[in-house]
Amino acid sequence: MKVLVTGGTGFVGANLVAALVRRGDQVRVLRRANSSLIALDGLPVEHVVGDVLEAESVAQAVAGCDLVFHVAALSSYWRARRAQVYRVNVEGTRIVMEACLRAGVSRVVHTSSIAAIGIPPRGTIGDERTPFDALSATFAYADSKHRAEAEVRSAIARGLPALIVNPATVIGAGDHYMVSGSMIVEFARGHMPAVPPGGVCVVDVEAVVYGHLAAAERGQIGERYILGGENLSHRQIAATIAAVLGRPAPRLVAPGWLLRPLALAVDGFNRVSRRTPLISGEQLRLGAIDFFFDSSKAVRELGYPIMAFRNAVEQAYAWYVAHGYLP
């Protein structure tokens, strides 16, 4: 089978590419000219140099493919301008879906996020039916991914055989852009003296890759599937990372009321600093919320596995050490 992976040089994309190569598919990757190829090292894949915002290069990449995984997105939103987040995530998705429609692709899997679903009401666990909320609509990444899903649904309404997967916070080997993996690297460098009071659903990248492949084979057109793992507090996440690294866990949990003034200070610093931001005010403001989600639909319909968070941390830490990010 000939398969295209947009965003194939990134964390989830590269792990997906490796799995496709292992099972014998002909894999094509759409990537930018300046994309790091570290995660694709040694993999026999075809490269199309271009951008999801360039209709011509997207059409070239899609041509002749039986299956398309649209993984490309601007996930490190705190390192980019708000307008660019929307351009890449929304307009880029529209361009890819249009190209797939014109090319008559047999199956499209769009990689979204739990952020696109919205924040579950307090004390509940979200699922695919959780309504998108007003707070999430103010959060550029969440809103852009929600709007990107609308582009996918528009294409489905016009006959595109597509479906959506919504990964949680992904951890594992190969996150060289340090999106979610930055928490492990910063912890190892001693930059995490305290944690926020909320929590998040965390997932092993190996489970996310399995979910993509299973969605392509068994998922229902027009449906969305949450690809999650364990629902853990930030304190539990930090304790697990600390145990893997052999370090003491942070004892301080920042009170919720403190997050807003801290967020204002971080936003102010980021505006004047020439350094790439480590964190944004948006992230701090959302730190008191429990982003907990249920993957039962994917388990039931896709045979999706729930994997231990600790294993993902161990794999991520080993990869960062092996590739020189950590001593």
The residue-averaged pLDDT of 163-173 equals: 97
Whether the per-residue pLDDT at 78 is higher than 60: the answer is no
Highest mean pLDDT among 196-200, 210-214, 278-282: 210-214
Kindly give the pairing relationship between strand 194-195 and strand 67-70. Answer: unpaired
- Of the listed ranges 64-78, 268-282, 284-298, the one predicted with least confidence: 268-282
The residue-averaged pLDDT of 297-310 equals: 98
pLDDT digits (tens, 9 = 90+) for 16-48: 999 999 999 999 999 999 999 999 998 999 999
Mean pLDDT over each residue of the chain, to the nearest integer: 91
Using CA atoms, how far apart are residues 212 and 226, in angstroms rounded to an integer? 11
Tell me what pLDDT residue 141 has: 93
The pair of three-digit structure tokens given for residue 51, joined into one six-digit string: 């951008």
Quick one: which of 262, 316, 313 has its CA closest to 284? 262
The residue-averaged pLDDT of 228-232 equals: 98
The residue-averaged pLDDT of 146-163 equals: 98
The pair of three-digit structure tokens given for residue 90, joined into one six-digit string: 């929304």
Neighbours of 26 (CB within 10 A): 16
User: Helices 309-322 and 205-218 meet at what angle, rounded to 10?
Assistant: 110
Structural domains of the chain ordered from first start:
2-170+204-228+293-307 (3.40.50.720)
The residue-averaged pLDDT of 182-207 equals: 88
Contact 48, 7 (CB under 8 A): no
The residue-averaged pLDDT of 200-219 equals: 98
The pair of three-digit structure tokens given for residue 82, joined into one six-digit string: 């708000």
Whether the per-residue pLDDT at 272 is higher than 70: the answer is no
Whether the per-residue pLDDT at 273 is higher than 70: the answer is no
Q: Where residue 159 falls among pLDDT bands split at 50, 70, 90?
A: very high
Q: Following CA atoms 43, 9, 28, 21 in sequence, which dihedral angle do they give, to the nearest 10 degrees?
A: 40
